Amino acid sequence: MREAFSNALVRLALADPKVLLLTGDHGYALFDEFRKRCPDQYINAGIAEQNMVGMAAGLARVGFRPFVYGLAAFVPVRTVEQIKLDIAHDALPVVLLGDGAGFVYSHLGTSHQSTEDIACTRAIPGLEVLSPADRFEMTASMDYAYATNGPVYLRMGKSDRGDVHTGPVDQLLAGTLLSVRAGRVDRPGLIATGSMVRTAMDIAQELDLAVWSAPMLKPLRFEDVCAAARVTSGLVTLEEHSVLGGLGAAVTEITSEYEPVRVLRIGVPDRFSEHCGTHAYLLREHGLDAESVRRRISAFCLSLQPRATSTALS
């Protein structure tokens, strides 16, 4: 997925000399091709992310199309104030790229883990939020972000989970859920985003469940969420993000108003990690590993089955 990101960025920059890449002293190997082919469109702003966001706002005001890259713990979390006031307030066309979201930078501890970035960005007016699951969604997300005339945050989580689509996503429409697997209508459906789509696909194969990918978290079309709710017995959301303010929150906000249905939110509990370790370890600690997720979904399936009623009177 990172290769698809790099390729899309180079392609956009070659086609439009106004495209600029700003990085906070990160991603050197990732941007080797960009620096080689577009050296005059590359800016290393150093370890000064707040200044970098302000610089991008100024460049956007004079006609450039800045893509601002950093770790998700810093872009957007460290720079929320600058994103809100310098970019979003005036609807400037800046694309913010947060890499390593979730527990990707596991060994570096809480300071480098980002499980609140969706919640932070969803609450900023006018800022769209993207969360691609594979290389095809990444390419479509980059094209969408470039084509829009306002600010966009693009979240990159674990990037080596493999494809969830069999081919290119022709066009990413605002807020649309992408159906990636059909399933039984008498069972819950899974709505997942980012790295958790692969987990959802693997579990759905075993339990014969429908799966939708949500590469765009804001806006999220209520029509799509309601349609998914109507063809299933309940909904399960999966995200490598806090259960507060992310995909699960967005889905429950929609269903509570337009299509009441039971929703199971699977994400990071409202607490910090207790220990440091590998990405796989942290998924287990927070109940996001495949086995833990499978158990919760199986229990949810059972809870949705109608209970046998007795006609005997006590």
Q: What is the pLDDT at residue 307? A: 54
Spatial CB neighbours of 179, under 8 Å, sequence gap ≥ 6: 210, 211, 212
Q: How many domains does the chain have?
A: 2
In the chain, the amino acid numbered 64 is F
The phi-psi region of residue 46 (left if phi > 0; otherwise alpha if psi is between -120 and 50; otherwise beta) is left
Spatial CB neighbours of 282, under 8 Å, sequence gap ≥ 6: 103, 106, 113, 273
- What does the buried/exposed string (b/e) look like for 184-213 if buried means 16 or more CB atoms within 10 Å of the residue's CB? eeebbbbbbbbbbbbbbbebbeeeebbbbb
How far apart, in whole angstroms, are the C-alpha atoms of residue 12 and residue 148? Answer: 13
Write the CA distances from 290 to 47, 239, 284, 287, integer angstroms: 36, 12, 9, 8
* Beta partners for residue 98, in sequence order: 70, 155
Other C-beta atoms within 10 Å of 128: how many? Answer: 23
Q: Do 270 and 208 share a structural domain?
A: yes
Tens digit of pLDDT per residue, the chain (314 long)? 999 999 999 999 999 999 999 999 887 899 999 999 999 999 999 999 999 999 999 999 999 999 999 999 999 999 999 999 999 999 999 999 999 999 999 999 999 999 999 999 999 999 999 999 999 999 999 999 999 999 999 999 998 899 999 999 988 888 899 999 999 999 999 999 999 999 999 999 999 999 999 999 999 999 999 999 999 999 999 999 999 999 999 999 999 999 999 999 999 999 999 998 999 999 999 999 999 999 999 999 999 987 544 343 33
Q: Please check whether residue 205 lies inside any domain of the structure.
A: yes
pTM over 0.85, yes/no: yes
Percent of residues in the chain assigned helix, strand, coil, to nearest 5 = 40, 20, 40
Q: Do 18 and 121 share a structural domain?
A: yes
How far apart, in whole angstroms, are the C-alpha atoms of residue 48 and residue 247? Answer: 30
How far apart, in whole angstroms, are the C-alpha atoms of residue 18 and residue 93? Answer: 12
Q: Please check whether residue 127 lies inside any domain of the structure.
A: yes
Residue 125 domain boundaries? 2-155
Q: Do 97 and 50 share a structural domain?
A: yes
How far apart, in whole angstroms, are the C-alpha atoms of residue 268 and residue 102? Answer: 9
Write the CA distances from 208 to 141, 177, 187, 199, 290, integer angstroms: 28, 19, 8, 14, 16
Q: Do 223 and 126 share a structural domain?
A: no
Q: Do 146 and 185 share a structural domain?
A: no
Q: Do 187 and 251 share a structural domain?
A: yes
| Residue 230 token pair | 């109507």
Q: Please check whether residue 221 lies inside any domain of the structure.
A: yes
Q: Find the CATH number of the domain harbouring 229.
A: 3.40.50.920
Q: Find the CATH number of the domain harbouring 27.
A: 3.40.50.970
How far apart, in whole angstroms, are the C-alpha atoms of residue 142 and residue 154? Answer: 8
Spatial CB neighbours of 309, under 8 Å, sequence gap ≥ 6: none
Q: Please check whether residue 309 lies inside any domain of the structure.
A: no
